Structure formats: C-alpha cells, structure tokens
Amino acid sequence: MTKKQKKILARIITAFTLLLVLNVLERLNVFSAIPGKVPLKMILYVVDYLIIGYDILKKAGKGIWNRQVFDENFLMAVATAGAFALEIYNAHGNLLLIDDCNEAVAVMLFYQIGEFFQSYAVGKSRRNITELMDIRPDYANIEKDGRLVQVDPSEVAPETVIVVQPGEKVPIDGIVTEGNSTLNTSALTGESLPREVGTGTEVISGSINMSGVLKIRTTKNFGESTVSKILELVENASSRKSKSEEFISKFARVYTPAVCCSALALAVLPPLVCIIAKSSPNWSSWIYRALTFLVISCPCALVISIPLSFFAGLGGASREGILIKGSNYLETLSKSKIVVFDKTGTLTRGVFVVTAVHHSKIGEAKLLEYAALAECSSSHPISRSLQAAYGKEIDRSRVADIEEISGHGITAKVDGHKVAAGNLRLMKKLGIEAAECHSLGTIIHLAIDGEYSGHIVISDVEKPTSREALSALKKAGVAKTVMLTGDAKKVAEKVAADLGIDEVHAELLPADKVNQVEKLIAEKKKNDVLAFVGDGINDAPVLSRADIGIAMGVMGSDAAIEAADVVLMDDDPLKIAKAIRISRKCIGIVYQNISFALAIKFACLALGALGIANMWLAIFADVGVMVLAVLNAVRSLNVKGL
C-alpha cells in the first residue's frame, strides 16, 4: 500500500468513527442540551466533512479556476455543500438542524471509499507493469585489465564481449561464447521453467542469470535489444485507446454538463411553476431532489472502470509473455475469426536439420563432409544445417574456387575434387542424372568430379505445441485457419494435414502473401477480424495489412515485431489462443460494466427526479456502482486459468 493510500485510509477511518460518534450522541439527545447560536452539532459535522472531503473541494475549486468545471469533483462538491446549505435555512432565517448534514458527510465518505478501492485496483495493475519494467538492466560488465568494469548498456557496441554474473540481468542480446548457466526468462515469456544455456546459445536481454558466469558476445545495440523493444511497447500501449474508451470519454464530456443543467432545471423550474400556479414552491424539497440527482449522476463507474479494465487486461497479458501494443488492439483481437499463419518460424521451429541421406556411394558421413565444406561460405539456414550435421570445425583451407549459382546451388573444389551441391536444376545444368527423392523437405543433390554421389534431405521441424495451438484456436471460436508459405506445395500440405489447418497456399513470394491476405479480407464477414501470425522480415507487409498482426518475439525479425500489434515473447503459438481468450474476457468485463453502470444510473436518476430516491440511494448509485465496477474490472488481471 502506498503512502497516499495509507493517508486516504486513515482519513476514511477517522471520518467514519467521528460520524458514528455524532450519530450516537444525536440519538442520546446530547446536542439539544448544549446552547449556542451555531449548534455544536453543525460545527462537528463540518469538521468531519472537511476531514474526509477537503481534497475533493480543492480539486473542484481548481477545476473551476481552470475552466474545466464539469467533472465528478464538481458534482460531489455541489451536492454535498448544497446539503449543508439546506441545514441552515428555515422560514424564520434561524439555524435549524435536520438530517441532511449526516447524508452530506456520508456521501463524501463513501465516495472516498470508492476512490480508495479504485486506487488499490490501479496499483495492483501497475505492479504487473512495474514488474515488467524491472527487466531494464542498470549496467553491463566489460572485462578490462583483468577486472570487471560496469558501463551503461547504451555505450556497449555490437560484437563486444560482456560478462554476466549469477543474479545479474542479461543487458543486451547476444551469443554465449563461454560458460554454462540457467536463465530465468519468466518476466519476458511468462514461462517459470529456467532455460539451460551454453556456448553458442543465443540469449535475450532481460533474462536473469541464475547460476554460472557467462561471457556473451553482443549482437545488437542496447536500443535494438529485446528488453528495450519490450519496454517501448509497454510504455506506449496506454496511448492507443480502444473504441470503448473513446466512447466513454466522449460520453462523459457531453453527459456531465447535461446532468448539471438537468439538476438546475429540477431545482428551479417546478418551484417557479408552483409560484405561477399560486401554490407553495417548496424550494428545499426540490433543491434536495436536484442535489440527489447530482450525486446519482456522477459517471465515476464508467470513467474509472472502463480504462482500468483495459489496463488490467494489458497487464495480465504482459505477465503471460503476451505484449499487446494498446487497448485498441486488445479490442480488435477479441473479434478474431480468421487466423492466418506463416509456416517457417511460426508453426515450425525455423531450424533446418538433416533428416536423411539417400543413395550415397561414398558413405553418409563423407557425403555430409563434402556438402558442409562446399557450403562453408554461405550463411543460409540450409548451409548451417549441413555444417551442424557434419559436427566438426570447418577447415576452409580445404576449400577453393567457390561459386554460387543463383537459384541452383554451389560448386567448389574440396580437397582437389570438384563438388556440386544444389537442387535438381543444378544437376540438369551440369548434365548429371540425379536420383529422384520422394521424401518431404529440401533436397540437396551432390555430384563429385562429375559423378552423382547421392542426396541429403533437410527438413524443418514442427513446434511441439503447434497442433495443440490449432485445436485451441478452434475451441476459442476461430472459424478458419490458413497457412501461407514460400515452401514447396508437398511440404506445405503435409504440415497443414499434420496440424489440422483448414486452408494452405504454398510457393508464395512476400507480395503473393499480401495478395492472399487481401483476398481473405475481401471474402470475410463485415465484423470478423483477420489475424496474421508471422516472424520473418518478409512478413512485415502482411502483418501491417492484416486487421491484427501477431509476431514471434524471440525468433522474429525486428521489422516483424515493429509491424505487429501483438508480440509473443516465447514464440509459442499456443499463446495465440490465450491472447484471444484474454482479450474476450477483458471486453466482456468492459461491456458488463457499461451495461450495469448505465442501467443503475438511469433508473436511479428517474427515481431521484420523482423524489422517490434519497441521498442514501444516490450513494449506492454513485459510489456503490463504482466500487462494484472497479472490483469487476480487476478480474481482467486474472488470466492464469485461461
């Protein structure tokens, strides 16, 4: 609990105790025995009123001074001060005490109780965001002259070796060059299990080193690292308001002046009609109705609970490793009916591995060795998979005359032998007859000294949760799933069949993916939302074009993360369905609060205008509804069971 919250709570307890004592003394007729022109009871009630409401009166005064009159502070100040004004009026101009001052203090007291609940709820939401902000590293360790020097992470250039000791945060993205340890990535991904890392492992900033000392070669500037991008996304999220929030803001700007004018009319017009009709105007009764009308009319429940619901939803999602860039995207995500996937890096790991060697005349190990050496100058994932399968350090002195033939493959001299490694087109170009392969995947054919020597099958691996993710989307109400990929048709259809995807389009260029998404958008129903999930730089145009773009945060390219509206920090496709469920729960709570608050408000306003509702019902209509709406809004934080 903050200092401010403790002060409010102390004032609430003090004011409530004094109000209770005053009511007991009044029932014992203690005040009637004490003479005085200004009754002691009135003085004590005013003291109690100022204890609990001085800050509201101050805010109302500032609003009037700044010409921003119509807000909840003004309504509360006018209504409660007006109740006191009724206390000091009677037909003879003498001071007279009735029950209104008791109600005035009670209204202000319960309003402050509502404000306390609201402050507590917002604080609870903010703590989730603050915990996320704790991933910001304060320093980076660089080894100089045999000792560690702490420097600002923003001063560390790429390719610098930094040292991360146990208990410290990884300040910048990089690759482990020395050491073994476990990393706590829960603040980034929502995953509580530690991650084992060792030499050659890529690590992301914001993780906490749990055990061993790590030396990490940085691959990015601090400003481009994962931790910086996450913090930027979270800090900017609140600025993007949903349609529901915009509606409430506009509603409050029109509603508050309207009810103030209505209350004034209720206080003045009926007595004037009575005067014209030559009957008693009964001013105090109509003014009391108007003051009750003002208290009832406070739009606190809507103005506070709706933004709070979205704020809590964003905080709860971020705690699960789902970063949503604004409440407008949260609202859009809840309407998702079509989910379109890129394949590589999204539904599959994007890590190619050698799965088979066929028709080798020189032995599998030797064929892999020749292929890895011939491809040693390429950084393509296919080349890296060949080098990984070879499993030894590449001796480049054994390789000469490397020539890359675009769209075909590579030729090179390895140990003096002419090696050709590539697709069927390369074999045909060289006039070499190749064996046909019926396996699914990328096929690398090899010829040595002009003679066909066999082929290697390289396949991408499906993510372990992909099938479950597609099933979860169906359960979440997604009507259609589509996969778009640049891969061969056979490979794409096999993956789609394995995972249970409704529709697949293969052998697409980036521009073709945009065209396919355009077609799907044109075909969908008016209020349905199309979400696209991708990770590569070539997915950025599609992520921008879709109604809602979802990017993989770990494997994803910077361009994809920048273009997306939602970022999954652990690259788990299962989180897509969870993000949709979180958004739908949050929007459901928003609609509940809007319906409940408006229904109660308008019913009580009608009762207040007719003189049926008193100030106590007004307290419930204002403060009670606000407290219930705020407590309901806090439920958006609870996303664990979704």
DSSP 267-336: HHHHHHHHHHTTS---HHHHHHHHHHHHHHH--HHHHHHHHHHHHHHHHHHHHTTEEES-HHHHHHHTTE
Domain 140-236, CATH class in plain words: mainly beta
Task: Assess contact for 430 and 390: CB atoms under 8 A.
Answer: no
Residue-level length of the chain: 642
Fold of 327-347+463-564: Rossmann fold (3.40.50)
CATH of range 350-461; options 3.40.190.10, 3.40.50.800, 3.40.1110.10, 3.60.20.10? 3.40.1110.10
The CA distance from 232 to 325, in Å, is: 9
Within 10 A of 525 (CB to CB), how many other CB atoms are there? Answer: 9
pTM: 0.66
Enter the tokens of residue 227. 């931790």
pLDDT digits (tens, 9 = 90+) for 519-544: 999 888 888 899 999 876 567 788 88
pLDDT digits (tens, 9 = 90+) for 10-35: 998 999 999 888 888 877 877 766 66
Task: Write down the catalytic residue from 48, 71, 173, 342.
Answer: 342
Query: What residues pair up with 455 in beta bridges, in sequence order?
Result: 358, 445
pLDDT digits (tens, 9 = 90+) for 93-146: 443 344 557 777 877 887 787 777 766 665 655 555 555 555 667 789 998 887
Plot region of 85 (φ>0 → left; ψ -120 to 50 → alpha; else → beta): alpha
Q: Which helix (H) or strand (E) holds 479?
A: none
Enter the tokens of residue 324. 């949503």
Whether 342 is a known active-site residue: answer yes
pLDDT digits (tens, 9 = 90+) for 150-162: 998 888 989 999 9
Residue 286 phi, psi dihedral angles, 5° rounding: -70, -35
Closest-CA residue to 227 (of 8, 523, 478, 553):
553
Closest-CA residue to 457 (of 379, 348, 363, 353):
353
Within 10 A of 471 (CB to CB), how many other CB atoms are there? Answer: 14
> How large a percentage of the chain has pLDDT more than 70?
81
Task: Assess contact for 169 and 137: CB atoms under 8 A.
Answer: yes
Q: With cut-offs at 50, 70 and 90, classify the pLDDT of residue 233.
A: low
Domain ranges of the chain: 3-130+239-311+586-637, 140-236, 327-347+463-564, 350-461
The CA distance from 79 to 297, in Å, is: 11
Classify each residue of 363-395 as buried b or exposed e, where b means 16 or more C-beta atoms within 10 Å of its C-beta: eeeebbbbbbbbbbebeebbbebbbebbeeeee
Task: Assess contact for 176 and 215: CB atoms under 8 A.
Answer: yes
Query: Distances from the Cα of 135 to the Cαs of 123, 166, 521, in angstroms?
Result: 19, 15, 38
Enter the tokens of residue 601. 């408000």
pLDDT digits (tens, 9 = 90+) for 279-338: 888 887 788 788 777 777 777 677 677 777 887 888 788 878 888 888 888 889 999 999
